[in-house]
Structure 1
Amino acid sequence: MSGETGTSLAFPKAIIFDLDGTLVDSAPDIGAAVNELLATRHLPPLSLAQAKSMIGHGVKKLVERAFSASGMPLYGGALEQANRDMAPIYRRHLTKLTTLMPGAKEVVAHFHVAGVALGVATNKPQLATREVLLHFGFTDQLGAIVGGDAVSHQKPAPDSLFLALERLRVEPADALMVGDSSADVGAARAAGMAVVLVRGGYTQVPVEELGADMVCDSLLDLPTALHGLRSAA
């Protein structure tokens, strides 16, 4: 664990989690979906590392990046059509290869039992997000689930965080964002929230360089880290 800390982290009334790269490792499924789409255009598959590098800014950006990396960048109507073609493919690849990130179940259960209001704010589409969370048994512990198509502007804009907190009835200053990428930091800062990043996600930039209040080696470190801050406050 490393990074700057503040008393705003010590007593979160709500925690908003990112999904991909934070609660679940969905890169294998996302990569499979991307490669199925590319195959419809007779393009070669991307590696898992390439797919990981494209995650975090929504499905539309994922599709755009995938075709660019394949040497066939798409624009305008062609890109729109590729996004339409991706929708049913993406829905077929949500939970086949996706696994939980270390500590995800334990940490969500810990804070739920402790009475902290919990939510998820992600750039993943709403229906896909709910299906993944339902598959892994999270939905009963979450008071707010906000997908990328539920708001006008995706992370790093703060819209999804504001909507989640509105549903949880918690002010941004009393809440904590937990994610893995610059999009999560940007959204939290724009919302006026503290933010913790967890190693092992999909960021291409070292997490220490993204400006979070705290960096944890895994989600399992989060309760202890916040307990330490609470004791020191």
Structure 2
Amino acid sequence: MTDRDLEGWTLAFDLDGTLVETHVDLVGTLNRMLVQKGLPEVPMEGASALIGGGARALLQHGFEQAGAPVEAARDPALFDAFIADYIDHIADHSRPFDGVVETLERLKERGAILVVATNKRTDLSERLLTKIDLVRHFAAVVGPDKVSARKPSGAHLKEAVAMAGGDPSKAVMIGDAAPDTEAARDAGMPCVVVTYGYTPIPPEDLGGDVLIDSFEDLEEAVDGLLSDFYVMRALSKA
């Protein structure tokens, strides 16, 4: 029988670049938008670090790379076309990173509440997670449209944890980029940073509490953070 030693704790996860490898579908949509405008495609890997910035940042990157006026990338009709195309191709190639499914299952068995706290729109996040059969693991999926302020504001994490039925004072953030670490710091939460995600900043420079190279290392990282938490609490009462 599994020891439910994580009861009372909530783990908040970023989506793109942390739980799911999404860059092929996102950059694929970007390239279709560029081709429609008579512009050259961008290399798949070259744009992946911008995934966390959202569709608008991707579009701007594509137009900059093509030497086209950046103002054209801000056209609301182009943004709407991007979203419509992405919805149609949201899970063509997107898959959970290695170890995600098994690790989430073990964390739930140990009593943890799991929540997604992402800057991706909630409807898009839920659609993606449903398509790849991950949504069942989470008590809530919380995009920026469901909270008072998006990451890097700590309000996003606190409100997401509360929506999942958790206590923000007993939560850990797991992410891959600056919005995640900054939001965790703002919310007073420890943060685990995955090194395989989408960030233009080296993972070791993001300011997280623990770095992991594989999602399969998450349990050990969380256990270490919680051990430190209980030690510090005991010392404060001594």
Please report the TM-score for the alignment, with normalisation by the length of structure 2: 0.86
Is the 8 Å Cα contact of residues 29 and 85 (structure 2) preserved in structure 1?
yes
Partners of 2:56 and 2:73 within 8 A in 1: no
Corresponding residue of 1:195? 191
Residue 144 (structure 2) aligned to one of 131, 134, 148: 148
1:183 maps to: 179
* 1:93 match: 89
Relative contact order higher in (CA < 8 Å, ≥ 6 apart): 1
Amino acid at match of 2:29: A
In the alignment, the residues of structure 1 paired with residue 82 and residue 12 of structure 2 have an alpha-carbon distance, to the nearest angstrom, of 28
Q: Is contact 1:107–1:219 with CA below 8 Å preserved after alignment? A: yes
Distance 2:151 2:86 in 1: 20
Larger Rg: 2
2:228 is the counterpart of 1:227: no
Once the two structures are superposed, the pairs formed by residues 164-183 of structure 1 within 5 Å of their partners are 164-183=160-179
Q: Give, in angstroms, the shift of residue 169 of structure 1.
A: 3.0
Whole-angstrom CA distance in 1 between matches of 2:131 and 2:47: 22
Distance 1:69 1:148, change over 3 A: farther
Shift of 1:148: 3.1
Aligned residues: 224
Identity %: 33
2:53 alignment partner, SS class: coil
Secondary structure at the counterpart of residue 90 of structure 2: coil
Deviates more, 1:70-79 or 1:115-124: 70-79
Matched, 1:80 2:76: yes
Name the CA shift for 1:228/1:125 in 2 (closer, same or farther; >3 Å).
closer
Q: How far is the alpha carbon of 1:131 from its aligned partner?
A: 1.3
| Structure 1 residue 12: Cα displacement | 7.0
Q: How far did residue 206 of structure 1 move?
A: 1.6
Between the aligned partners of 2:72 and 2:154, the Cα distance in structure 1 is 27
Structure 2 portions without partners, runs of 5+: 1-5, 232-238
Alpha-carbon shift at residue 219 of structure 1 (Å):
1.1
1:67 aligns with 2:63: yes
Listed one character per residue, the Cα deviations across residues 106-146 of structure 1 (whole Å, up to 9, x for unaligned) are: 11111111110110011112111101111222222211101
Change (3 A) 1:96 1:16: same
- Which TM-score applies when normalising by structure 1? 0.87
Counterpart among 24, 44, 47 of residue 28 in structure 1: 24
Determine the structure 1 residue equivalent to 2:157: 161
Identify if the C-alpha distance between structure 1 residues 159 and 40 changes in structure 2 by more than 3 Å, giving closer, same or farther.
farther
In 2, the alpha carbon distance for the partners of 1:35 and 1:76 equals: 15
Structure 2 residue aligned with 1:19: 15
Q: Does 1:56 align with 2:52?
A: yes
Describe the superposition over 1:39-67 as per-residue Cα deviations: whole angstroms up to 9, x where unpaired.
11111001111220221022222222322
